[in-house]
Structure 1
């Protein structure tokens, strides 16, 4: 759960605010071939291994991956792009409206199952996961890119910013579907909204050099929140 970042739902808005439409191409490369493919392949594989410890097989894993609706949608989209086929505008508009419902419905689905227990030991692991995703992981990527390898440029900056994104809600949905610690994941998702708020601070830290040139921190945070609200 902590290994998959919310590189699209939150990431696209943040990158659009910082870099404009030029940065969206990099975000798509990070999100689709990166985070999304990793979730729909390695993520499904891991979920199968831990959910079916005594009856795991290559056929079962491959079957579950091929039957996973988001993976099928990705393959269809990739094939259409490869063949340079355009979807009719009416169908494209309908699919766009349907796609905009994914995150709200996912949050509603998890929220309806939510039963918070603040005395539960799950919260220790929740904060551990959030700390890794919002602090430790982006710090590692920042150090590797800017200090160890001394790389610069827009692609590197966007990569570091995307590494500071909050956890992906879809990963929690997949894990809950496979029965992997649903109570813990429900607690984690409950903190998801809070982690998104902290997410803006980690983005500020991950991108501080860029902000010094264009925004002061208060103006940056205000602009991001306004964009999210509108």
Structure 2
């Protein structure tokens, strides 16, 4: 437990500092959007590239691990669809609940995995991120196209945005370099590595700055349901699938962290764009992030 606390406290501490910085108005509120965009889309591809480009993939049970991870995202989508008839809520609100249970904050989990498991954890989370971005986005857009009250999505545009997502491009380029054995000059490698290392602190600060306690007043009972599904049911689903595929050690713990992750801010953006319940999405992002400070250490202590 001491090891877990020592690894998690710096990560959660930086998130708290981000919240304090936002509250202190040291930076204008309008600056946090560009900071978050820089961290996620400008710098994060570098850390995914470096993680995958020099990884020793031969030592990873890649097939079972990736199968368990992708089935975990599919299983959470199926569970959330299964409970829809019992929920007496408007369609747009349901789409935001779906996003709350099916999305994950991969970059937050990347920071935690590095703190807990070093290079192996970093590589595994990077691989899950690369594979899950298309899957989760297609799931969420499909649900919004059915129950959202906005304009129906242009699937060609959706596919193009996914294919050109900087995180996927960074991951894909890293995989090409790895599999083809392409050598990269050390000065270039060092520059890209420095960019990647700059991403995680900014991401964590942006997570803290994005906490919006006022938004949690929107549909508090439904927030309780979505947070319970995401932070209590999803970890068991991912962990159970890992066991079913014969995984153990760090890969199994990374699956647990993947399931235990709070949702991502992109749920709010997509809800606004495609007619979801944006206020509820904003409340869920904050509530899940706050409760994950308790549930992630709980799951690691119980199952780790």
Distance in 2 (CA, whole Å) between partners of 1:15 and 1:90 is 19
* Higher share in helix: 2
SS in structure 1 opposite 2:233?
A: helix
User: Shift in Å at residue 132 of structure 1?
Assistant: 0.9
Write the distance in 2 (CA, Å) between the matches of 1:107 and 1:173: 16
Structure 2 CA distance for aligned equivalents of residues 54 and 92 of structure 1: 39
Whole-Å Cα distance in 2 between the matches of residues 117 and 25 of structure 1? 34
How many residues get paired?
A: 199
Q: Is the 8 A contact 1:26 1:158 kept in 2?
A: no
Tell me if 1:99 matches 2:199: yes
Q: Equivalent residue for 1:13?
A: 112
The C-alpha deviation readout for 1:188-223, integer Å capped at 9, x for no partner, is: 12224312212211222232xxxxxxxxxxxxxxxx
Q: In 2, are the aligned partners of 1:15 and 1:27 still within 8 Å (CA)?
A: no
Q: Which runs of 5+ in 1 are unaligned?
A: 208-230
* Conservation of the 8 A alpha-carbon contact between 2:235 and 2:258: yes
1:73-222 maps to which residues of 2 (within 5 A)? 73-83=170-180, 84=182, 86=184, 88-89=188-189, 91-93=191-193, 95-96=195-196, 99-100=199-200, 101-105=202-206, 108=209, 110-111=210-211, 114=212, 116=214, 120=218, 122-146=219-243, 149=244, 151=246, 153-154=248-249, 157-176=252-271, 178=273, 180-198=276-294, 199-207=296-304
| C-alpha RMSD of matched pairs (Å) | 3.6
Deviations 1:44-79 (A, max 9, x none): 555566557654443233234345444444444444
Please tell me whether the aligned partners of residues 215 and 280 of structure 2 are also in contact (alpha carbons under 8 angstroms): no
- Shift of residue 81, structure 1, vs aligned partner: 4.3
Normalising by the residue count of structure 1, what TM-score does the alignment of the two structures yield? 0.64
Cα deviation per residue 1:135-162 (whole Å; 9 max; x = unaligned)?
122223444554xx48353255325422
1:105-150, CA deviations, whole angstroms, 9 ceiling, x for partnerless residues?
3653x45xx4726654x2222211111122122223444554xx48
Q: Contact 1:7–1:165 at 8 Å: present in 2 too?
A: no
- CA 1:160/1:85 → structure 2, altered by over 3 Å: closer, same or farther? same
CA positional deviation for 1:14: 4.5
Gaps of 5+ in 2: 1-99
CA contact (8 A) 1:6 1:167 kept: yes
Tell me how far 1:21 sits from its aligned partner.
3.5
Following TM superposition, by how much is the alpha carbon of 1:23 offset from its aligned partner in structure 2, in angstroms?
4.0
Deviation at 1:180, TM superposition (A): 2.5
In 1, Cα distance between the equivalents of 2:129 and 2:166? Answer: 17
| Alpha-carbon separation, structure 1, partners of 2:114 and 2:193 | 24
Per the alignment, in what secondary structure is the counterpart of residue 191 of structure 1? helix
CA distance in 1, matches of 2:256, 2:234: 11
TM-score, normalised with respect to structure 2? 0.51
Structure 2 Cα separation of the partners of residues 46 and 85 of structure 1:
43
